[in-house]
Amino acid sequence: MRVLISGGRVIDPSIEADGPMDVAVAAGRVVAVAPKNQLPSDFAPSRVIDATGLWVFPGLVDLSARLREPGYEYRATLESEMEAAMAGGVTSLVCPPDTEPVLDEPGLVEMLKFKARQLNLAKVYPLGALTTGLKGETLTEMAELTEAGCVGFSQAEEPIMDLRVMAQAMRYARNFNCTVFLRPNEPNLSRGGVAHAGAYAARMGLSGIPVMSETIALQTYFELMRNTGVALHVCRVSSAKGVDLIRQAKAEGLPVTCDVAIHHVHLTDMDIGFFDPHAHLIPPLREQRDRDAIREGLLDGTIDAICSDHTPVDDDAKLLPFAESEAGATGLELLLTLTIKWMREQQVPMHRVVELLCSGPASVIKVQAGSLRTGMPADLCVFNPDHDWVVGSQTLISQGKHTPFNGFPMQGKVVATMVNGNLVYSTLDKARNKVTAD
């Protein structure tokens, strides 16, 4: 099908676009992006989507979204979370390996990718387990897992206690040109903690997770990088000191990239309020100076991507006293809207938003995504910047309804999503979708 997205504000720094343009799509790929009436003369669309007054972005690439399959279907299903991704404009997403069973064998990875393809929605890029069963003892067969479709290797939230194993894993990953994804956490310092180790947690009587659990882990990783040469992606940096260490590592020339969860761009430990379990997250929400440093790191290029850290949690695990509740929150449908909210608050250039949500994460996992360049897969989303709505169980498609933003009024929402040239999600007024025959 040939589709024309007409009259929207197209924003994509990879093609230096920011203004009213038409996007021509055919055979699942971008044919052209050009001002009105400047498309190829032989392009005859079979469908025209009127995007006047709307914004058109490349499809989002999310570096951390737990889909809960296989093994945790009672919390969410692959279908429900893929539909949530479409509603959030996320066309490519990275799935951590902490499923049940763990993604440590090629057959499991191939099965997950097959099921995702059958749904014909978002593109799923699994991370393989760095060690068998995520137990931190025996290395997985990284070459075979890469052939099966893994874009990197991770321990998810499970530590490797033996640094000799960690060094061996990094050397092995380097030999196969694989990226290692690690969340910086020294488990001996964070064990039993549920909130940031600061004055607020102390007053609330909550056991703390200190910043040094992040910084000590980072310093260890960087020293191992110097000796192994591995490419490292730091997942979910949460502190000012952590951001500064990553900035120094990049200045040194280490092959390191990093992301931050969207929650940490907006919230602080004070948002726990009166023991609100929706604000129980890992890593924990930290102090305002940490949030401010994260925002600075997003602007100066220290942080390469914003992710949703989407983790659906069911009522039985979430609606408990704070310290007993399970950490995690839904985020796929909020990622773009909350990033636009930050953009408006700090007057961030629009091109930086697209870099952090599209091209930046795509470059981390080395996939063809996050851009509307001619010949690229036609993955894109259409965003209504003036759509007012309130976050809640009735407005979220994800099976996971728990987020610290429950009840928050939002401005702006994805109204259409296209994957490989197929319109897979749309809430556009039918009067604005003009359909013509070939």
**Positions marked active-site:** 309
Query: Could you tell me which residues come within 8 angstroms of residue 227 by beta carbon, excluding any fewer than 6 positions away?
Result: 167
Residue 24 — φ and ψ, nearest 5°? Answer: -100, 130
Tokens of 397: 């498609």
CA atoms of 164 and 278, how far apart (whole Å): 37
The packing angle between helices 240-252 and 212-228, to 10°, is: 10
Query: Could you tell me which residues come within 8 angstroms of residue 326 by beta carbon, excluding any fewer than 6 positions away?
Result: 280, 313, 317, 318, 320
Residue 319 — φ and ψ, nearest 5°? Answer: -85, 65
Query: Could you tell me which residues come within 8 angstroms of residue 277 by beta carbon, excluding any fewer than 6 positions away?
Result: 318, 319, 320, 321, 322, 325, 402
CA atoms of 246 and 404, how far apart (whole Å): 27
CA atoms of 68 and 73, how far apart (whole Å): 6
List the Cα angle 299/60/32 in 5-degree steps.
105
Say how many CA atoms lie within 13 Å of 360 toward its Cβ: 24
The DSSP code sequence of 374-427 is: TTSB--EEEEEEEEEEE-STTT--SS----TTTT-EEEEEEEEEEETTEEEEE-
